[in-house]
């Protein structure tokens, strides 16, 4: 049985897939690695508190979430740069390029 202690030691994207015995296309990971892991991290951060008292359910949640994110990207999800970097949370892109907050 896998444990959270083992999960916390994972380092590389492929390690997460191998840990949960999830088949993956290395080509997709090579292209979308950053996007997949960024979204995965955001989703597990939001859902973690709902399962923190039950390690087995938490591990199931972590696995399901990784499968869901990977499947989205495998099926063609392609976020915009603004979505990935959260640029528009701080203002318009042209103001940020000038080195500051939105001045519009």
pLDDT at 8: 93
Domain boundaries, the chain: 4-97
pLDDT tens-place string over residues 87-99: 444 444 445 444 4
Measuring CA to CA, how many Å separate 20 from each of 6, 41, 45, 70, 101?
Answer: 11, 16, 18, 13, 41
pLDDT tens-place string over residues 8-49: 999 999 999 999 999 999 999 998 999 899 999 989 988 888
Distance CA 3, CA 18 (A): 14
Distance CA 4, CA 81 (A): 32
- Residues with Cβ within 8 Å of 23's Cβ and at least 6 positions away in sequence, in order, are 17
């Amino acid at each position: 049985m896998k444990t959270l202690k083992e999960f916390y030691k994972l380092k590389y994207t492929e390690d997460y897939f191998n840990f949960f015995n999830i088949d993956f296309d290395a080509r997709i990971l090579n292209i979308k690695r950053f996007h997949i892991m960024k979204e995965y991290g955001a989703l597990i951060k939001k859902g973690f508190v709902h399962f923190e008292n039950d390690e087995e359910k938490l591990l199931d949640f972590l696995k399901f979430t990784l499968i869901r994110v990977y499947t989205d990207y495998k099926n063609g999800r392609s976020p915009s740069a603004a979505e990935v970097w959260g640029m528009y949370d701080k203002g318009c892109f042209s103001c940020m390029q000038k080195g500051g907050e939105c001045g519009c």
